[in-house]
């Protein structure tokens, strides 16, 4: 028996190839893709396809399904976090963040993460596996379905900043980005997509070569390599100078201003001298700094900076002419930080198993 393939992970060209092999006209691939990206769950529901083609599809392919295990909305209503069960029983999370300009979906690209950032819940337990392009797409589809049920706007922006390092799952991530841009599918403009990386320099260069005008957001979190190595093991592989060089190349290739994320950690990277050093390194480079007050994560040592330290840091950067914003905090009461809800869920399951 032929093993069934995940059709949601296929590009338009790959679907075209399959239907052509079956002697079907070219336009069938577009019809199939349209159904899939609209969220159809069964080939039988693709009502404008001939029955024989639907049967062939069902014989050869399956449609990835995510099961919603939990859904929590913050008390302010500005964020909703979804916990999804994958078909192999792994768990991921996605978060909808509601802004005036629309709904952003922060989605996962891996189950777990091997990057080991010391302030992050997603990496406790390491990397389990990469997500397929279809599993990333399924997060957008499921959340769109859920938002539509309650009459809310569909996802307008996608942020690859959930569980996982997107560039550590390069091929699937780039495939997914191209897939959500299809005009006959979700038709998402590249400018509405942000990819966040901890700074995998060779992959940043590859991404620049793709020439996709998406926003590249780099988790910097320190003004120098010594400090960065304390909180991000990746800093031992790639220096801040390497990252800045790759960022300049990205800007040159795509024309997109790079964002640097900086999570302020109390008494570690939030001092005035850190802000001055950061400003010195970034001066003259068309970039943007996004200041994030750290979410306290149970079991992790680092604590968030005081409000006064945050204000001081921002004002030093501004005074040095650096474009800086403070990220609005959403979903603090729903374990909003990346990987936190999944972590709590896994801990609850482990605790139940210990009781038995
Ligand atoms: S911050 Fe991102 S790259 Fe670092 S461990 Fe967490 S998920 Fe991985």
Q: Per-residue DSSP letters for 227-279?
A: HHHHH-GGGGTS-HHHHHHHHHHHHHHH-PPEEEEEEEBTTTT-SHHHHHHHH
For residues 193 and 191, give the distance between their C-alpha atoms in angstroms, rounded to a whole number. Answer: 6
pLDDT at 294: 81
pLDDT at 80: 94
Are 126 and 115 in contact by the 8 Å Cβ rule? The answer is no
Distance 216 CA to ligand 1 centre (A): 15
Ligand 1 pocket test target in 93, 94, 107, 115 with most atoms within 8 Å of CB: 115
Which domains are present in the chain?
5-62 (1.10.150.530), 67-354 (3.20.20.70)
pLDDT at 301: 77
Are 180 and 192 in contact by the 8 Å Cβ rule? The answer is no
pLDDT at 94: 96
pLDDT, tens digit (0-9, with 9 covering 90-100), for 151-161: 999 999 999 99
Residues 6+ apart with CB under 8 A from 237: none
pLDDT at 302: 84
Distance 110 CA to ligand 1 centre (A): 10
List the catalytic residue out of 106, 338, 347, 350: 338
Nearest CA to ligand 1 atom 6: 120
Any residues with Cβ below 6 Å from ligand 1, and which?
113, 115, 117, 120, 122-123, 163-165, 198, 219, 338
CA 39 to chain centre: 20
Distance 124 CA to ligand 1 centre (A): 10
pLDDT at 330: 61
Q: Are strands 67-73 and 79-85 parallel, antiparallel or unpaired?
A: antiparallel
**Which stretches in the chain have pLDDT values below 70?**
1, 297-299, 329-339, 345, 348-356
Nearest CA to ligand 1 atom 4: 117
Is residue 210 part of the annotated active site? The answer reads: no
Token couple for 262: 């900086």
pLDDT at 121: 87
Distance 225 CA to ligand 1 centre (A): 17
pLDDT at 119: 87
Specify the 3-state DSSP secondary structure of 79: strand
pLDDT at 51: 96
Report pTM: 0.93
Token couple for 119: 């302030």
List the catalytic residue out of 55, 93, 148, 287: 93
Is residue 338 part of the annotated active site? The answer reads: yes
Burial of 211 per CB tally in 10 Å (0-12, 13-18, 19+): exposed
pLDDT at 2: 75
Specify the 3-state DSSP secondary structure of 117: coil
């Amino acid at each position: 028996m032929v093993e069934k393939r995940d059709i949601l992970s296929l590009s338009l060209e790959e679907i075209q190839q399959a239907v052509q092999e079956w002697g079907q006209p070219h336009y069938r691939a577009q019809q199939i893709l349209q159904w899939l990206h609209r969220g159809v769950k069964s080939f039988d529901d693709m009502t404008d396809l001939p029955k024989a083609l639907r049967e062939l599809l069902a014989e050869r392919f399956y449609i990835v399904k995510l099961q919603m295990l939990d859904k929590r909305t913050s008390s302010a209503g500005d964020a909703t976090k979804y916990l999804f069960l994958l078909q192999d029983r792994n768990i991921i999370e996605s978060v909808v963040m509601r802004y005036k300009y629309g709904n952003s979906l922060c989605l996962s690209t891996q189950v777990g993460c091997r990057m080991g950032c010391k302030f992050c819940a997603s990496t406790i337990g390491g990397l389990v596996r990469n997500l397929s392009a279809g599993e990333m797409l399924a997060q957008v589809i499921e959340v769109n379905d859920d938002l539509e049920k309650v009459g809310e706007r569909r996802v307008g922006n996608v942020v690859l900043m959930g569980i996982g390092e997107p560039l550590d799952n390069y091929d699937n991530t780039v495939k997914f980005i191209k897939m959500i841009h299809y005009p006959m599918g979700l038709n998402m403009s590249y400018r509405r997509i942000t990819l966040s990386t901890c700074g995998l320099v060779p992959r940043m260069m590859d991404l620049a070569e793709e020439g996709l005008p998406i926003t590249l957001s780099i988790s910097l979190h320190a003004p120098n390599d010594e400090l960065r190595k304390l909180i991000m093991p990746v800093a031992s592989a790639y220096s801040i100078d390497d990252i800045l060089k790759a960022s300049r190349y990205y800007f040159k290739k795509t024309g997109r201003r790079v964002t640097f994320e900086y999570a302020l950690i109390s008494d570690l990277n939030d001092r005035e001298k850190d802000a001055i050093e950061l400003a010195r390194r970034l001066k003259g480079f068309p970039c943007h700094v996004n200041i994030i007050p750290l979410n306290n994560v149970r079991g992790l040592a680092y604590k968030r900076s005081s409000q006064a330290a945050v204000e001081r840091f921002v004002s030093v950067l501004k005074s040095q002419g650096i474009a800086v914003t403070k990220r609005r905090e959403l979903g603090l009461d729903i374990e909003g930080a990346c990987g936190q809800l999944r972590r709590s869920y896994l801990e609850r399951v482990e605790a139940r198993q210990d009781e038995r």
